Structure 1
């Protein structure tokens, strides 16, 4: 849930960036990407917690983080696009 909260805060922050920093439709797109990742993280939090609890009770290996790559690449894509736009604005 902390990942979902952080991604959601990032999306809100991206939406609040002044209009002269990024092109409005790009800023909105980046905010949507972050909030969509937040919704995915929040939606997957309980099933993951339940699977981890089951593995701990059964003393079996913990399940791998299935969506770690999605979150990693998604946040990296937003960061790279934002970085390029910041450099181009200078």
Structure 2
């Protein structure tokens, strides 16, 4: 390779993920990518649920409905950021042979969905 050419690891972004270590088995990288895409789907579902609560105007108290919608929208934004960070940390861990990171926000997602559900139920019963 000439001095001006870039290797595969140099051309990929983010560099902090790809600049160190060795290429992992492609099956593991593809599985990591599928997990990232699952986070994207989860994020889209949370965002769509939050928007639908307000757009469909269910017969609930407006304040509770809006609160639940905002919780779901915030969770959707958190989920996509978590998905990207998790993908990057897992890919880097595989490249350098380190232990894989654990799920860091599972309880936050579950708790937020429970809060949104409780807000909707209270708004319907109020």
* TM-score scaled by length of structure 1: 0.81
CA offsets 1:56-85 (integer angstroms, 9 cap, x no match) = 223333211111110010001111232344
Gaps in structure 2 of 5+ consecutive residues: 1-39
Matched residue count:
87
- Aligned equivalents of 1:37, 1:83: Cα separation in 2: 19
- RMSD of the alignment, in Å? 1.8
Please give the residue correspondences for 1:1-90 in structure 2 after superposition, counting only pairs within 5 Å: 1-18=40-57, 21-86=59-124, 88=125
C-alpha distance after superposition, 1:25-77 (max 9, x if no partner): 21111111110111111222222110011122233332111111100100011
Structure 1 CA distance for aligned equivalents of residues 114 and 64 of structure 2: 16
Structure 1: stretches of 5+ with no match in the other structure: none
